[in-house]
């Protein structure tokens, strides 16, 4: 019997595979990520995604607008205390970004990413990858 739990598990596996695919050694990353009590991995940006980093006071209204405009926005992270939010965007976006008050993580930078579906100490998914 297939239920929504099965679909959720498939989605989580798909998200994990998408995220670890950028790691220099995906198998080692997955192994460490699944066993690390902190549940985070350091992954390189600029391969499958860049991350636009907004202060929380700008990020939450941005996420609100996005959720009104699209069915489901792309993945979004928040750090401990919601000081900053990271919006996953297509690779190359950071090099073309002209806005102020926004930092970017693109090629040559690394991002702390929590394991999908697991609460981490400092970083968490507001919109998990699917």
- CA dihedral (71, 54, 9, 15) in degrees, to 10, reads 100
pLDDT of the residue at 36: 82
Alpha helices in the chain (DSSP H): 4-20, 26-35, 56-69, 93-96
Strands 76-78 and 84-89: antiparallel
pLDDT of the residue at 32: 83
Least confident of 21-25, 28-32, 104-108: 28-32
Give 73-130 pLDDT, tens digit per residue. 999 999 988 899 999 999 999 999 887 889 999 999 999 999 887 766 688 999 999 8
Distance CA 16, CA 13 (A): 5
Distance CA 62, CA 82 (A): 14
Q: What's the whole-number average pLDDT of the chain?
A: 87
pLDDT-based confidence at residue 72 (cuts at 50, 70, 90): confident
pTM of the model: 0.87
Residue 125 near residue 51, CB atoms below 8 Å = no
Largest Cα–Cα distance in the chain? 51
pLDDT of the residue at 101: 85
pLDDT-based confidence at residue 13 (cuts at 50, 70, 90): confident
Whether 43 shows a pLDDT value over 90: the answer reads yes
């Amino acid at each position: 019997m297939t239920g929504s739990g099965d679909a959720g598990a498939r989605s989580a596996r798909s998200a994990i595979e998408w995220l670890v695919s950028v790691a220099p050694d995906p198998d080692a990353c997955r192994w460490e990520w699944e066993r690390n009590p902190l549940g985070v991995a350091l992954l390189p940006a600029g391969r499958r995604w860049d991350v636009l980093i907004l202060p929380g006071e700008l990020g939450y209204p941005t996420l609100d607008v996005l959720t009104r405009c699209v069915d489901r926005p792309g993945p979004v992270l928040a750090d401990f205390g919601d000081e900053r939010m990271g919006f996953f965007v297509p690779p190359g976006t950071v090099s073309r970004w002209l806005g102020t008050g926004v930092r970017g993580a693109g090629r040559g930078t690394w991002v702390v990413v929590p394991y999908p579906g697991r609460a981490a100490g400092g970083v968490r998914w507001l919109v998990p990858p699917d």
